[in-house]
Structure 1
Amino acid sequence: MAVTIYDIAKKADVSRSTVSRVLNDSGYVKEETREKIIKVMKELNYTPSAIARSLSTNKTNTIGVVIPEISNPFFGKITKGISEVADKNNYNIILCDTNESVEKELKALKVLKEQRIQGIIITPTVAENEFNSEYLNALENLGIPIVLLDGHIKYSDFNGVFVDHIKGACDATQALLDEGHRKIAIITGRMESRPAKERLNGYKKALAINNIPVDEKYIFYGDYTHEKAYEITKQIMSMEDRPTAIFVSSNIMILGCIRAFYEENIRIPEDMAIIGFDEVDTLNIIGMNISFVSGPTTELGRTSMKMLIQNLKDKDHKDIRRINLLPKLVLRGSEKRID
């Protein structure tokens, strides 16, 4: 039979409220009485219930992490970073995968509120250029600290941690230009998202720096899926004046490109150079050396969790904090031009 605070109070000859103050380290209790209660708890082998404690303190030491696609290694590495910092600070995590659905995200927020979580780290599904009052109200009505993870919400003033996507895309395009490529295609992500817009801007910035006009026929609008990238790559391969290089602005889409290359007997980089955004571990396993922009994924997770903990400790701090992390270009040879 489980030991309760009633049993402890009875044996220690104190009130239940006194035992509760000792358990929750709240309110004044004489040191002699405190030691007596702790001794009784040890004798009865009492282990406090985390659920019971959360009910009495209104604190669960749990944070919610809301991401759009858990199957994407990018978010897996981010979650790893969040978990590392959470574990060191005795926080638990409830992970919600929304599958890029606003409806699922609203449902997840409702569930997290019922779980009385202390704060939320979220990569929003709602597009930056859209305004969804129900969505924003759902976040604001939580009444807890929120940290945006590499995604903005229109008309919001939440803290956030982001990647400098413009720099990453500019560096990738510049690497192709340095190899002598002049006809460079880009496969974008969903243009409703800020990262996709910024990566396209970075691509255009590199061309402008090198006095190369943007050719719209080399801009292909993807949707972050490998299926769409596969279709686009097939289209690129059939162009009469096809490019000599492709900048692919997501790791998942790289897989679609390579599938199309394989079917068309296209060699990398002999027939087509390619650089992606974010690493694809699967390609490393099979020995495909694809160059990529390394977004600081694990560090994104660590930094967002550290920011949330700081917000939890200083809830009266009103200044909005935005941190931009710099990506790094990793060249493995797929960017080369071989005439």
Structure 2
Amino acid sequence: MSVTIYDIAEKAGISRTTVSRVLNNSGYVKEETRQKVLKAIKELNYTPSAIARSLSTSRTNTIGVVVPEISDPFFGEIIKGIGEIADKHELNIILFDTADSVEKELKALKLLRQQRIEGIMITPTFTEKNFNSEYLNTLEKLEIPVILMDGHVNYEEFSGVFIDHVRGAYDGTEALIKSGHRKIAIITGDMNSRPAKERLKGYKKCLIRNNIKVQDRYIFCGDYKYENAYQITKKILKMEDRPTAIFVCSNMMSLGCVKAFNEEKITIPNDMAIVGFDKLDVLNILGLNISFVNGLTTELGRVGTKMLIDKINNKNKKNNRQIERITLLPELILKGSERYIYNKD
């Protein structure tokens, strides 16, 4: 049988209004009376209803998190950072995985709106070309803070935290050049996404600044997926004038490359050098020292959550509607896989 505030009031010999004040920490209550309520709560083993409390305080202490693919370690790291800050502020999280579908993302946004959440953190689906008026109207009608996590929405401006993808790709490519490589391939992400476009831009920029011709035959369009990168790497290894190094634009694609290397008995970096984007713990577990550009995704989650909390707490202030954007500078982690050893010439 559930215990209500009526039971607590009766046991403590005080009014229901006073019990409510103690439970919600609102209004003045004598310390002696407060102790009576707390004692009654303990003796009755009362657990307050989160739903009832949210109705009385107009606060749900809940935020929504929407990502394209939760199985991707990139988003797992972001969620880890979100969780760290959310726990410190006693925030609940409702998480949606949209499977990179605009339709599922739209459904998630509508469901979150019904849950009376206080704010949303979202990485919009990569298929930006599919954004439509219904999607944009739904975002506009949320009337709660929305923080972008390294993603963009066409025709709309929101606050958010982003990674400098151009800088990251430039640094990763430069590490290969400094090691002696001149024939460097790139496996991009989904070219419908801004991060993929920016990483390709950084790669090209680095080649040009180092007087290396950008060759289309060394540019391979991936989709951030393991299987696609595996197939692309197989093709690269069969090229007549194949590159000596590959810059891979996501952690899951790096794993696909490694699988292809293993099947073709290609050793790193003796036969092929590689630098990836974002860390992948499984590579360390397997004892593979793959150099990578660390996008600081966990920190992205932390910073984004702090930004959201600030906007929630200051939602009635005029300057709270100003667009705030923070860009994190990635760091290059070299483990030796970028070295130049193999020389076909």
State the TM bucket, normalised to the shorter chain: over 0.9
Once residues 228 and 286 of structure 2 are traced to their aligned partners in structure 1, the CA distance between those partners, rounded to angstroms, is 23
Query: Which residue, out of 331, 337, 340, partners 1:337?
Result: 340
Runs of 4+ in 1 over 4 A off after TM superposition: 10-15
Alpha-carbon distance between aligned partners in 2 of 1:263 and 1:36, rounded to the nearest angstrom: 74
> How far apart, in 1, do the equivalents of 2:202 and 2:126 lie?
23
Displacement, 1:230? 1.3
1:38 deviates by 4.8
1:219 offset after TM fit, Å? 0.6
Within 5 Å, give how 1:90-101 maps onto structure 2: 90-101=90-101
Distance 1:235 1:215 in 2: 16
Quote the residue 1:218 is aligned against: 218
Q: State the alpha-carbon separation in 2 of the partners of residues 8 and 38 from structure 1.
A: 12
Q: How does 1:202-281 map to 2 (within 5 A)?
A: 202-281=202-281
Q: Are positions 1:76 and 2:73 aligned together?
A: no
Instruction: Answer with 56-65 or 186-195: which moved more.
Output: 56-65
Q: Is the 8 A contact 1:222 1:228 kept in 2?
A: yes
Counterpart position of 1:87: 87
Q: Give the secondary-structure state (helix, strand or coil) at the position aligned to 1:147.
A: strand
Shift of 1:6: 2.1
* Farther-moved stretch of structure 1 (66-75 vs 165-174): 66-75
Given that 2:11 and 2:40 are in contact with CA atoms closer than 8 Å, whether structure 1 keeps it comes out as no
* AA at the equivalent of 1:301: G
Give the match for residue 323 of structure 1. 326
Tell me how far 1:7 sits from its aligned partner. 2.8
| Within-5 A mapping of 1:117-132 | 117-125=117-125, 127-128=127-128, 131-132=131-132
- Of the structure 1 ranges 139-148 and 300-309, higher mean CA displacement relative to structure 2 is found in 139-148
- Equivalent-residue separation in structure 2 for 1:257 and 1:283 (angstroms): 12
Shift of 1:12: 5.4
Q: CA deviation at 1:234?
A: 1.3
Instruction: Verify the 8 A CA contact 1:12 1:37 in the aligned structure 2.
Output: no
Q: TM-score, normalised by structure 1?
A: 0.93
Report the residue type matching 1:40 in the other structure: V
Tell me whether 1:288 sits opposite 2:288 in the alignment: yes
Q: 2:306 is matched with which residue?
A: 306
1:240, distance to aligned residue in structure 2 (A): 1.3
| Residue deviations 1:119-159 (CA, integer Å, cap 9, x gap) | 11111115445542211222222211111000010121211
How far does the alpha carbon of each residue in 1:95-137 deviate from its partner, in whole angstroms, 9 at most, with x for none?
Answer: 1111111121122222222222111111111544554221122
Task: Classify the secondary structure of the residue corresponding to 2:321.
Answer: coil
TM normalised by structure 2 equals 0.92
Alpha-carbon distance in 2 for matches of 1:103, 1:280 = 29
Q: Which of 37, 61, 64 is the aligned partner of 1:40?
A: 37
Segments of structure 2 that go 5 or more residues without pairing to the other structure are: none
The residue type paired with residue 138 of structure 1 is T
Question: What number of residue pairs does the alignment pair up?
Answer: 336
Counterpart contact for 1:169–1:200, Cα < 8 Å: yes
1:40 to 1:314, Cα distance in 2 relative to 1, 3 A: closer
Q: Which moved more, 1:294-303 or 1:131-140?
A: 131-140
Q: Identity across aligned pairs (percent)?
A: 65
Is the Cα contact below 8 Å between 1:121 and 1:304 reproduced in 2? yes
**2:156 aligned partner:** 156
> Separation in 2 of the partners of 1:96 and 1:169?
29
Paired position in structure 2 for 1:110: 110
Give the AA of the match of 1:267.
T
Q: Which residue of structure 2 lines up, in the alignment, with residue 165 of structure 1?
A: 165
**Preserved CA contact (<8 Å) 1:188 1:222:** yes
Q: How far, CA to CA, are the matches of 2:68 and 2:231 in structure 1?
A: 23
Q: 1 CA distance for matches of 2:38 and 2:306?
A: 34
Q: How many Å apart are 1:75 and its aligned residue?
A: 1.3
Give RMSD over aligned pairs.
Answer: 1.8
Find the aligned partners of 1:308 and 1:329 in 2 and give their Cα distance. Answer: 28
Query: The residue matched to 1:212 in structure 2 has which SS?
Result: coil
The CA distance in 2 between the partners of 1:306 and 1:64, in whole Å, is 14
CA distance in 1, matches of 2:15, 2:193: 57
Aligned-partner residue type, residue 320 of structure 1 = I
Amino acid at match of 2:64: G
CA 1:281–1:268 in structure 2 vs 1: closer, same or farther (change >3 Å)? same
Separation of aligned partners in 2, 1:111 and 1:152: 21
Contact 2:169/2:203 (CA < 8 Å) preserved in 1?
A: yes
Q: Cα offset for 1:93?
A: 1.1
Task: Give the deviation of 1:299 after TM superposition.
Answer: 0.4
